[in-house]
């Protein structure tokens, strides 16, 4: 069987960053990682940043793989070309119902080629349980985890780090705390053991669908998250992009996208924005992306028209000064 690892964490917790830095460690250990990346509306942005580190990166755009996109998830798992060195890594989107996803992957016949899933929950040390109405969802994502990783520890004092770790361990005392290096070692060890593991008992997908109709509805109505997407112009000024991001409404929890900034030749910039502290991260890549420049925002009850109009107005106001 092939190891199956699921990465879960609230929006902006650092799942993709963890994955991006984990992949070279797995390759160095002789593992051949494949990645399934689930995100709102356009998973191509994050998949672009991972493609040089994995054997394959398959984006699944749209709703959570635990509900609306689960058929695409199972189709992807079934179609994957596996070998004894393959490890399948799946990043769920930031509002996924982890318990439902793990149950799906544990009990459905379509995952028969894979081991029982490990779940690594990425926990944001800075923002843990400071998300107001989203605290319950963030905490619920830890219940089925086999491993914990603490992110965004920079500028957090030892008291805060200890409090977050104690809080998470109270919710799930069986989960093991890991670093990227130790987790890579554990995954590599699992990879050597997986081919000799016995097949697991599973029930049919029809039974599973019947069992989870109610859970699916509960999850969909719980968080009311929406995503919006629109194209960006080529050669955008960096200062204008940063001004636009910092002007986004408070309902935007996370925004990201891909753009070629003014002055960039043969390079593209992936940007990432966390609304709570207005932190902007820009990363340049020499590889040519497989998607056009775009902006993507995630949050509850977002208005595409209002945000897109805001960008258009900002762009038009900047034109006279650029001439």
The 3-state secondary structure of 249-267 reads CCCCCEEEEEECECCCCCC
**Which residues neighbour 186 within 8 Å (Cβ) at sequence distance 6 or greater?**
147, 178
CATH fold of 4-220, please?
Rossmann fold (3.40.50)
Tell me what the mean pLDDT of segment 129-146 comes to. Answer: 93
| Residue that is written with structure tokens 């290096």 in the block | 181
Q: How many CB atoms lie within 10 A of CB 108?
A: 22
Look up the CATH architecture of domain 225-322.
2-Layer Sandwich (3.30)
Tell me which of 318 and 92 has the higher pLDDT: 92
More confident: 109 or 80: 80
The pLDDT assigned to 214 comes to: 37
Give pLDDT tens digits for 10-31: 988 999 889 989 999 999 999 9
The residue ranges of every structural domain in the chain are 4-220, 225-322
- Tell me the β-bridge partners of 299: 226
Is residue 276 pLDDT above 60, yes or no? yes
d(CA 43, CA 23): 18
Return the SS3 of 2.
Answer: strand
In the prediction, which pLDDT does 69 show? 72
The per-residue pLDDT for 110 is: 84
pLDDT of residue 292: 82
H or E, element range at 148: strand 147-151
Per residue in 227-239, pLDDT tens? Answer: 788 999 999 999 9
pLDDT tens digits, residue range 50-101? 666 666 788 786 656 555 677 888 899 999 999 999 999 999 988 888 988 8
Q: Please report, for residues 124, 232, 258, the alpha-carbon distance to residue 116 in angstroms, rounded to integers and kept in the order given.
A: 26, 41, 35
Length in residues, the chain: 323
Q: What is the pLDDT of residue 87?
A: 95
């Amino acid at each position: 069987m092939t190891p199956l690892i699921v990465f879960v964490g609230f929006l902006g917790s650092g799942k993709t960053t963890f994955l991006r830095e984990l992949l070279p460690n797995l390759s160095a250990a002789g593992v051949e990682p494949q990645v399934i990346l689930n995100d709102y509306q356009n998973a191509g942005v994050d998949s672009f940043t991972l493609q040089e580190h994995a054997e394959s990166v398959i984006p699944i755009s749209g709703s959570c793989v635990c509900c609306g996109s689960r058929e695409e998830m199972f189709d992807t798992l079934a179609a994957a070309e596996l070998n004894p060195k393959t490890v399948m890594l799946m990043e769920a989107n930031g509002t996924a119902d982890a318990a439902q996803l793990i149950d799906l992957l544990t009990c459905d016949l379509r995952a028969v080629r894979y081991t029982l899933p490990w779940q690594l929950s990425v926990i944001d040390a800075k923002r843990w349980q400071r998300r107001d109405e989203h605290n319950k969802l963030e905490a619920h994502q830890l219940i089925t985890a086999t491993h914990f990783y603490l992110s965004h520890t920079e500028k957090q004092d030892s008291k805060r780090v200890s409090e977050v770790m104690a809080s998470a361990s109270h919710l799930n005392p069986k989960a093991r705390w890991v670093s990227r290096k130790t987790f890579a070692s554990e995954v590599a060890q699992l990879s050597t053991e997986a081919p000799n593991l016995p097949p697991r008992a599973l029930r049919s997908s029809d039974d599973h669908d019947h069992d989870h109709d109610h859970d699916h509805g509960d999850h969909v109505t719980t968080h009311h998250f929406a995503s919006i997407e629109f194209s960006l112009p080529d050669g955008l000024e960096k200062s204008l992009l940063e001004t636009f991001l910092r002007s986004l409404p408070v309902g935007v929890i996370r925004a990201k996208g891909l753009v070629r900034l003014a002055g960039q030749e043969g390079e593209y910039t992936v940007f990432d924005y966390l609304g709570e502290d207005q932190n902007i991260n820009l990363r340049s890549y020499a590889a040519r992306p497989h998607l056009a420049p775009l902006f993507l925002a995630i949050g509850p009850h977002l208005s595409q028209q209002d945000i897109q109009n805001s960008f258009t107005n900002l762009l038009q106001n900047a034109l006279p000064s650029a001439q």
